[in-house]
Amino acid sequence: MRDGLARLFGPPGRDGGVGDQRRAAEVAAARRLCVITGGPGTGKTTTVVRIIALVVEAALARGGPAPRIALVAPTGKAAARLTEAVRRARDKLDVSDAVRDAIPEAAATIHRTLGSLPDVATRFRHDADHPLRDDVVVVDEASMVDAALMRRLVDALRPSARLVLLGDKDQLASVEAGAVLGDICGAGALRDCVVGLTHSYRFGPDSGIGALARAVNAGDADAALAILTGAGHPDVTLVTPTGGGRARDVLDPALARCVVDGYRPYLQAAAVLAGAIAGERTDDGPGAGTDGGAGALIAAERACLDAFDGFRVLGAHRQGRDGVDALNPRIARVLADAGWLDPTARMYLGRPVIVTRNDYDVRLFNGDIGVVLPDPARPGRRRVVFAAADGGVRALAAARLPAHDTAFALSVHKAQGSEFDTVAVVLPDSVSPVLSRELLYTAVTRARRAVTVFGSEAVVRAAIERPIERASGLASRLG
């Protein structure tokens, strides 16, 4: 394994990001539990794929079979993102084809891996008496896993299995009880199992997003506000609402401009696609939708989805005047007034939707996001298109869509595990119990390139100065 470590991570003693990643690999090789924590862009997925390669290489070198490996995540969307990330990282590995082929391509939800039983939400097919067959289990977005589900997963592991947890301990904890990842990272008895990745490959030394995230994490409200209001970091901005959008059904003018600019690229792509499909229909049947045939149609649909992921509005609340439920119809009205959509029909062209309930029959899961686009096979009808892990798309007739909501605006909780080029964070106009340091940090770090926070300095300060404290009991048990 020493040769593999040097080949995949470089020589020992290196400083910076690669050195931390190598230490994580050494921990994972030596222990049954390894926890890799770090912010966005610190290389958690890249590291774990290399770790898996090392484990596979070692098994094959001993003359044994490749280990059975499970990649899991708490939600369907997180599992899909893990699948995409692992495939990208696997293709770049300096390993043999036998090792590469043994690294799994697909991730699944924890519920699906454990084997959910019909009508029994708290029981699974796999437990301590019927353990999983996997030799290595990797859990991504571990901060989102609640205490009860983590316990059931650990119970279902064989005593010889390795468990690798990936996540950002500073993000929002799970909606349900517990702050499992944070408690594990803070437990003295497990300190030798935890490796923190601190070098960001996404946010350089001049990044305002990176600087803001560090200030928020440190609880330094003065530094955070200086970054937000100063001229030194153009990628982060604080906009105090002017009062022009105080009516419940009216969007603040500055936010309205931001929304039109942010969503224009994907709506323009959707309109061009609709025109191409309509223009290529013939008496003999529908055309492929673009001049290049079915492949070009898929590429155009995927481009529309990717453009939609270039921008997102995030809300701290679900309900209330500044909550997601109120923001979505107001955003739709602003875009309609700008001439980009017609929201009079339920499934209007360009409507973004988020699935709110798992549906294994159609393979859509809570948190999956799609866009309503023209159905090239049925004139005048719509279908909902979702991104597929292989870079293509999956389409579903609108009538078969599971329970869903409009997704122009998402709650910060729903946005966990997602990334967007640009983010608009909408805070309430007064201090709220929902606001916290972790919520603001999670919201800010969803952005890759730029973030605008809509709220007052007082509300931002209150959020940063209020860390979440959860008494789950796990921390005291771990010691």
DSSP 321-341: TTSHHHHHHHHHHHHHHTTS-
Does the fold of domain 208-279+290-465 match that of domain 1-201?
yes
Model pLDDT, residue 363: 80
Cβ-based neighbours of 334, under 8 Å, separated by 6 or more: 251, 256, 259, 260
Give the span between the Cα atoms of 342 and 345, in whole angstroms: 7
Supply angle C-alpha 69, 70, 73, rounded to 5.
150
Q: Say how far residue 197 (Cα) sits from the centre of its chain.
A: 18
Contact of 137 with 130, CB cutoff 8 Å: no
Question: What interhelical angle do 437-444 and 208-217 show, nearest 10?
Answer: 170
Would you write out the chain's pLDDT as a tens digit for each of its 479 residues? 678 788 888 776 665 567 889 999 999 988 999 999 999 889 999 999 999 999 999 999 999 999 999 999 988 778 888 998 999 999 899 899 999 999 998 898 898 899 977 666 678 899 999 999 999 999 999 998 888 899 999 999 999 999 999 999 998 876 665 578 888 888 788 889 999 998 888 888 889 999 999 999 999 999 999 999 998 999 999 999 876 555 556 788 999 999 999 999 999 999 999 988 887 544 433 344 455 567 888 999 999 999 999 999 999 988 888 899 999 999 999 999 999 999 888 899 999 999 988 787 888 888 889 999 999 888 888 999 998 877 788 899 988 999 999 999 999 999 988 899 999 999 998 888 889 999 999 999 999 999 999 999 999 999 999 987 755 566 556 65
Looking at residue 399, what is its pLDDT? 87
Q: What's the confidence (pLDDT) of residue 289?
A: 47
pLDDT at 426: 96
Q: Which two tokens stand for residue 434?
A: 């929902």
**Tokens (6 digits) for 456:** 């007052």
- Token pair in block for residue 24: 């994580």
List Cα–Cα distances, 24 to 43, 79, 167, 168, 193, in angstroms.
Answer: 11, 22, 13, 15, 9
| Largest pairwise CA distance in the chain | 73
Q: What tokens appear for 27 in the block? A: 């921990």
Q: What span, in angstroms and rounded, lies between the C-alpha atoms of 335 and 344?
A: 12
Separation of CA 144 from chain center: 10
Count CA atoms closer than 13 A to 41's CA, side-chain side: 17
Q: Any alpha helices (H) in 232-323, and if so which ranges? A: 253-279, 294-308
Bridge-based pairing of strands 382-387 and 369-374 is antiparallel
Buried b (16+ CB within 10 A) or exposed e, 267-285: bebbbebbebbeeeeeeee
Contact between residue 227 and residue 209 where contact means Cβ atoms under 8 Å apart? no
Q: Write down the H helix ranges in 11-75.
A: 16-30, 44-61
pLDDT score at 77: 78
Does this model's pTM top 0.75? My answer is: yes
Provide the pLDDT for residue 65. Answer: 93
Distances (CA, A) of 282 to 66, 287, 376: 53, 7, 12
Sheet holding 69-73, edge to edge: 108-109, 69-73, 136-139, 162-167, 33-38, 194-197
Question: Top-level CATH class of 208-279+290-465?
Answer: alpha beta
Query: Containing H/E element for 439?
Result: helix 437-444
Nearest-CA neighbor of 166 among 55, 104, 79?
79
Specify the pLDDT at position 153: 95
Given a contact cutoff of 8 angstroms between Cβ atoms, the answer to whether 472 and 177 are in contact is: yes
What gap in Å lies between CA 297 and CA 393, rounded to an integer?
10
Cα–Cα distance measured from residue 411 to residue 328, given in angstroms and rounded to the nearest whole number: 11
End-to-end distance of the chain based on CA atoms, in angstroms? 32
Residue type, 349: L
Distance between CA atoms of residues 396 and 402, nearest Å = 10
The full set of domain ranges for the chain reads: 1-201, 208-279+290-465
Residue of 44, 370, 313, 50 lying closest to 195 (CA atoms): 44
CA pair distance 88, 86, nearest whole angstrom: 5
What is the per-residue pLDDT for 6?
Answer: 83
The residue behind tokens 């005047």 is: 321
Q: Which CB contacts under 8 angstroms, 24+ apart, belong to 287-292?
A: 287/376, 288/376, 289/374, 289/376
Q: How far apart are CA 364 and CA 387, in angstroms?
A: 11
Which 3 state secondary structure label does DSSP give 73? strand
> In Å, how far are 147, 245, 316 from 252, measured between CA atoms?
39, 4, 16
* Predicted pLDDT of residue 262: 97
d(CA 295, CA 292): 7
Q: What are 205's two structure tokens?
A: 């030394």
Q: What is 1-201's CATH number, 3.40.50.300, 3.90.1150.10, 3.20.20.10, 3.40.50.261?
A: 3.40.50.300
